[in-house]
Amino acid sequence: MDNTKNKIALITDSSCDLPAEILKEHSIFTLPLRVIYGDKEYRDGVDITPQEVYDRMPHEIPKTSMASPSDCTNLFQSLREQGIRNILSINISSGLSGTYDMIKMISKDFPDLNIVTIDSKSLSIGLGFMVNEAAKMIAEGLKIDEIKEKILSIREKIKLFYCIPVLEYLKKGGRINTVAATIGDIMDIKPIISVNEEGKYYSHAKVRGRKKSLDKLVEIVKEFSEENIVRLAVMHGNAEKEALKIKETLSKLPNVKDILFGQIGPALGVHTGPGLVGVCIYIQ
């Protein structure tokens, strides 16, 4: 019984883009974001795949919403019934989704549970790296407050950059200024998008044309890896060939420890459209 009381349940959301085998290996609970077409709602990564979203574009562009409050409540209740008292939840940036704030609010309904929440101020595999590190710390037997402190420190070492062929989808999702998006598409300007300290998108660099934007991603990784050992992730949204090419180039850099490769989830793909290629740098 004491063992269950001391156990820490780890929760994240479907934007973390961790491979299913990692989630399963560490028994990580995932709250799915929502993808909405008209009056039909799909659970991100459960009822709908990234390819299904891209196949319906550009004629149908769905909306997205945060993880369901009822899913969160049900999960907390289920963990309580199992005798678990410590819960660590690491989630998509509060600057990009209401998920973190929702979990924090619902945790107040469970005063008997020790629910610790962390705003990743990131998304996709940037969030995924933090969740994976937390899972390892839980396995090592660290206390929940120690883990939070270490994850907040790791958060500062994770940098995320991506490029997309058109800005239309970010504009439709309200993630980017309409005027900037229209001018950008007309001028063939491809911003390298990153996430700032507030966990919001900003334009890290601007280049002209697709090839230069992909080259710029490689250049950014080179800059970070010159003086640091780094772990990397290369992610894509229906752009596997280009992403694999970048992965191959980056794998030859001397200070690269390892590279995770994968596709971003459906909900994130809604806001970027097909063609995203991104890199995540985790400084060791």
pLDDT at 166 over 50: yes
Q: What is the pLDDT of residues 215-238, one digit of tens each?
A: 999 999 999 999 999 999 999 999
Summarize the confidence of residues 181-198 as an average pLDDT: 81
Place of tokens 């911003």: 191
Q: For residues 20 and 46, give the distance between their C-alpha atoms in angstroms, rounded to a whole number.
A: 12
pLDDT at 3 over 80: no
Q: Which domains does the chain have, with CATH numbers?
A: 2-32+67-155 (3.40.50.10440), 158-283 (3.30.1180.10)
pLDDT at 178 over 60: no
Q: What does pTM read for this prediction? A: 0.94
Determine the pLDDT at residue 188: 82
pLDDT at 203 over 80: yes
Determine the pLDDT at residue 1: 42
Determine the pLDDT at residue 141: 97
Which amino acid, one-letter code, is at 148? K
Closest by alpha carbon to 130, among 115, 117, 141, 143? 117
> Dihedral angle at the C-alpha atoms of 187, 193, 198, 199, nearest 10 degrees?
130
Place of tokens 């780094």: 230
Query: Mean pLDDT of all residues in the chain?
Result: 94
Which amino acid, one-letter code, is at 55? D
Do 129 and 280 form a contact (C-beta atoms < 8 A)?
yes
> Could you tell me which residues come within 8 angstroms of residue 192 by beta carbon, excluding any fewer than 6 positions away?
161, 162, 163, 203, 204, 205, 206, 207, 213, 216, 217, 220
Per-residue confidence band for 2, with pLDDT thresholds at 50, 70 and 90 = low
> Could you tell me which residues come within 8 angstroms of residue 71 by beta carbon, excluding any fewer than 6 positions away?
31, 32
Which amino acid, one-letter code, is at 179? V
Q: What is the pLDDT of residues 110-140, one digit of tens each?
A: 999 999 999 999 999 999 999 999 999 999 9
Alpha carbon 157 to chain centroid, angstroms: 15
pLDDT at 71 over 90: yes
Closest by alpha carbon to 255, among 215, 220, 228, 284? 228
pLDDT at 172 over 90: no
Sign of the dihedral defined by the CA atoms of residues 61, 66, 72, 73, in that order: negative
